[in-house]
Structure 1
Amino acid sequence: MIAEQTKAPAFTLPDSAGKQISLSDFAGKKVLIIFYPGDDTPVCTAQLCDYRNNVLEFTKRDIVVLGISSDSQASHKSFAERNKLPFSLLSDTEKSVAKAYDALGFLGMSQRAYVLVDENGVVLLAYSDFLPIIYQPMKDLLAKIDAA
Structure 2
Amino acid sequence: MSISVGDRAPDFTLPGTNDSTYSLGDFSGRPLVLIFYPGDDTPVCTRQLNSYNDGLDQFAELDAQIVAISAQGVSSHDTFSDKHGFGFPLLADVDKEVAGRYGTLGPIGFPRRSVFIIDADGIVRYAHRAIAGLTFRPVKELVAELRKLS
The CA distance in 2 between the partners of 1:36 and 1:44, in whole Å, is: 6
Tell me which residue corresponds to 1:64.
65
The CA distance in 1 between the partners of 2:143 and 2:107, in whole Å, is: 27
1:18-72 per-residue CA deviation (whole Å, 9 max, x = no partner) reads 3111011111111110000000000000000011111111101110100000011
Tell me which residue corresponds to 2:116.
115
Over the matched positions of the two proteins, sequence identity in percent amounts to 36
The CA distance in 2 between the partners of 1:112 and 1:145, in whole Å, is: 19
Tell me which residue corresponds to 1:73.
74
User: What TM-score, normalized to structure 1?
Assistant: 0.94
Unaligned runs of 5+ in 2: none
CA contact (8 A) 2:31 2:146 kept: no
Q: Which moved more, 1:99-108 or 1:66-75?
A: 99-108
Unaligned runs of 5+ in 1: none
Tell me which residue corresponds to 2:103.
102
| Alignment partner of 1:4 is 2:5 | yes
Tell me which residue corresponds to 2:16.
15
The amino acid that maps onto 2:104 is: A
The amino acid that maps onto 1:34 is: I
Note the C-alpha offset of 1:147. 4.1
User: What TM-score, normalized to structure 2?
Assistant: 0.92
Q: How many residues align?
A: 148
Note the C-alpha offset of 1:144. 3.5
Tell me which residue corresponds to 1:43.
44
